[in-house]
Amino acid sequence: MKGLFKGVSIALGIVLVAYCAFLLESSGRNTVANENIISQWEIAWIDEDNLHLTEQDLDKIENWTSYSTSTPITAKRNEKATQWIKMKLPEVNFDSPAILFDKVYGHNILMMVNDQVIYESQRQYNYEINTILAPLKREFSGSYLYLGISSSNRIGVQDSVLIGEFSSLQIDYIKSNITDFILGSALIFIAIVMLFCLFLLNSETVSTWLALCAVILASGVIVITYSSFLYSLLGNFGDIYVTLFDLSLFLLLPSFTFFFEKIFGSGYYSIIKKFRKFQVYYSLFCFVAMIINNFSGYRYHNIYSYISATALGMIMIIQFIILVSTSTVYAIKGNREAIIFSSGFAIFAILGIGELAWFYLNSAYYDLFLWKWGVVSFLISLIIILGRRFAETHKQVVEYSRQLEMFNNELQRAEKMEIISEMAASVAHEVRNPLQVTRGFLQLIAEKEHNSDKVYMNMALDELDRASNIITDFLTFAKPEVGKVTTLNLLNEFIHIEGILVPMVNLQGGRISVHIPNDLYIRGNSSKFKQAFINIIKNSIEALHGDGDIQIWAHKENGKVSIHIKDNGEGMDKEALSRLGEPYFSTKTKGTGLGLMVTFRIIEVMEGEVHFTSEKGVGTEAIISFPQVNEPES
């Protein structure tokens, strides 16, 4: 449910970005109230590529046809046909009048009024979208403006024509085109920043990062070089812009596939990897074809256009089908990154396919603009995917660091225990025998002494017994031999343990309750088992300090038998809890810490695990788990 919520949130975020982008795009032009709008004109065709006609020549043409912005643009008569447009200028009452054509399709354009050329453009490169802002004169009021257009593809005027103050139209002109520059520049800037960050990454993520940088950089260049504003503002470098557009497209497609491959793998039968290699070779082929076409003066333009546009478009369609199919399969399997990828690509596909459909419905007389916001939404999804990868990598690093610290602590503890074990074994063997001899002589002397002296002798014997018990604990810790291993019934074992400890807990003023089913069995040595649990329960009794409860219960789960020992004594803080089982650490005034050391070692040898939880002033709970065994056959 949480993953679904995140997926829906991401999808809504991407949709919101696309919607805001649409609002930004659609609000680019705000017509000023005092601007004059020309929405009707006349069109005539001549069957030759000739823009050098005078108004007298144009007046001789008889087949002028009326058109408006709502009339579909007619197709060319033949390859060399030139279109002439005639429109009557309204009264020009501006200090610095100008005329703004938002969209004119054509390679070569000439604009004149009263046989005066006010605008002329000739393009040798393959880009026919123009935005024209040309100055007018007051004496042009009521005159006819003639616009001659020649083009190998689309041709004509689309949208309304505005006449107004030059400064006002210039602002309008810039506002309507600046969005592409802002968006493209932002993408390029992001790609450059990402390239600088490349030096901070490890070698495993460099290739994925570079692929995403290439995708974002190529997308930014494509957005900028697709805008008509660049060609209208600095048209002398148009061939460079077209070249950059093609190069970015050649870079974008294989980089995109490579990024997909690094995130989701090579796909079934390595189809993603094979297709990516094909795209690299085809992009290199297109690059060579572009160089040949450019250096030959665009002599092979038609061939190059088929290679870099028609054929490449088919390859793009195949690419999208493969990637979407693969990501959809992974998304169905629950891959969250595939869900994010599919969401971003769905927005891009909806915007792209919708615009393409509208493009062909309008006989190609429509400029695609929503596609770039689809690209932005899609890039956001790619960045989210890469961000998730970095977050997962960071999470793994943190987890590995935590485990390394834990293993290092365990290693230090094991080394410390090994040293103590060797020392304990050697010292215990050397000290036990003299102690036993000393005890024997003291016992003999005590039998001959008077009553007053016997008290001191008995005290000496008790201390020797205590020293002997400590030595026994050392030996048990150093060499924890379980002894004879049998199948133990937990209830029977705890009945004996309860019988031993009930007098002690009653003296403390506490209560002990045991709730253990009769069908729980483990493997171990009965004597060692009792020793370990008596140590744990004794600690609970000593922590009561008067009235209190000790609860003991057990249950089985996932092949394990878990025993819980819980008291409501004084409890421990986190520091004391973390040091349980360390040599010579004890919360008791006269404790040595050896009891819990021995307990932990016995449980470890019996393949068990022990875990303590405690809170100061609330109590302590010990949870001990052993492998469960079946009831022995009678």
Lowest mean pLDDT among 32-46, 198-212, 370-384: 370-384
Let me know: does 562 contact 623? Beta carbons within 8 Å. yes
Give the pLDDT of residue 305.
82
Answer whether residue 473 shows pLDDT above 80: no
Q: Which long-range contacts (CB under 8 A, 24 or more apart) does 49-53 make?
A: 49/80, 49/81, 49/82, 49/150, 50/82, 51/82, 51/108, 51/109, 51/110, 51/148, 51/150, 52/110, 53/84, 53/148
Position of tokens 């009561």?
544
> What is the average per-residue pLDDT within 461-486?
64
DSSP 96: S
Tens digit of each residue's pLDDT (9 = 90 or more) over 577-633: 777 766 655 655 555 556 777 788 788 888 888 888 888 888 889 999 999 988 776
Confidence of residue 331 (pLDDT cuts 50, 70, 90): confident
**Cα separation of 279 and 272, whole Å?**
10
Question: Mean pLDDT for the chain?
Answer: 78
> What is the reported pLDDT for 33?
47
| CA distance readout (Å), 552 to 106, 404, 498, 612 | 91, 35, 10, 14
- Averaged over 134-149, what is the pLDDT? 90
> Positive or negative CA dihedral for 562, 563, 568, 570?
negative
pLDDT value at position 437?
A: 62
pLDDT, average across residues 560-564: 92
pLDDT tens readout for residues 80-93: 678 899 998 888 88
Are residues 544 and 581 in contact, defined by beta-carbon separation less than 8 angstroms? no
Which token pair is 402? 């935590």
pLDDT band at 407 (very low <50, low <70, confident <90, very high): confident
Architecture per CATH, domain 486-627, reads as 2-Layer Sandwich (3.30)
The pairing of strands 549-557 and 511-515 is parallel
Q: Is the pLDDT of residue 287 over 90?
A: yes
Mean pLDDT of 538-566: 87
Task: With beta carbons less than 8 A apart as the criterion, state whether 126 and 242 touch.
Answer: yes
Q: What is the DSSP string of 105-169?
A: E-SEEEEEETTEEEEEEE--SS--EEEEEEE--GGGTTPEEEEEEE-SS--EEEEEEEEEEHHHH
What's the pLDDT score for residue 31?
47
CA distance 50 to 313: 34
Residues 362-377 have pLDDT tens digits of: 655 556 666 677 777 7
Calculated CA dihedral for residues 442, 447, 451, 453, nearest 10 degrees? -20
The values of phi and psi at residue 357, to 5°, are -60, -45
The single-letter DSSP state of residue 309 is: I
Share of the chain above pLDDT 70, in %: 75
Which residues partner with 157 through β-bridges?
104
Strands 144-150 and 116-122, sheet pairing: unpaired
What is residue 146's predicted lDDT score, i.e. its pLDDT?
A: 92
In this model, does residue 186 exceed pLDDT 90?
no
Triad 581, 582, 585: Cα angle to 5°: 100
Confidence of residue 563 (pLDDT cuts 50, 70, 90): very high
* pLDDT at residue 235 is higher than 60: yes
Examine the pLDDT at 281 and tell me if it is beyond 90: yes
3-state SS of 230-297 is: HHHHCHHHHHHHHHHHHHHHHHHHHHHHHHHHHHHCCCHHHHHHHHHHHHHHHHHHHHHHHHHHHHCC
pLDDT-derived band at 471, boundaries 50, 70, 90: low
Range name among 35-39, 146-150, 462-466, 627-631 with the lowest pLDDT average: 462-466
- Provide the pLDDT for residue 426: 61
HSE-up (13 A, CA, CB side) for residue 268 = 7
Q: What's the predicted TM-score (pTM) here?
A: 0.56
Among 266-270, 348-352, 355-359, 554-558, the range scoring the smallest mean pLDDT is: 355-359
Percent of the chain with pLDDT over 90: 9
Is the per-residue pLDDT at 32 higher than 50? no
Mean pLDDT along residues 532-561: 86
Name 564's bridge partners: 553, 623
pLDDT at res. 278? 93
Residues 228-236: what's their mean pLDDT?
Answer: 76
By the 10 Å C-beta count (0-12 exposed, 13-18 middle, 19+ buried), 246 is classed as buried
Task: Tell which wins on pLDDT, 184 or 415.
Answer: 184
Q: Per-residue confidence at 147, pLDDT binned at 50, 70, 90?
A: very high
More confident residue, 349 or 29: 349
Domain 29-175 in CATH 2.60.120.260? The answer is yes
* Least confident residue range of 206-210, 397-401, 589-593: 589-593
pLDDT level of residue 238 (50, 70, 90 thresholds): confident
Helix/strand/coil percentages in the chain, nearest 5:
60, 20, 25
Task: Compute the CA torsion angle 277, 282, 288, 294 (nearest 10 deg).
Answer: -140
Strands 36-38, 40-46: pairing is unpaired
Domain boundaries defined on the chain: 29-175, 181-400, 486-627
Assign 283 a pLDDT band (cuts: 50, 70, 90). very high
pLDDT value of position 356 = 61
**Range from 31-35, 70-74, 525-529, 593-597 carrying the lowest mean pLDDT:** 31-35
Q: What is the pLDDT of residue 220?
A: 87
Residue 562 has a pLDDT of 92
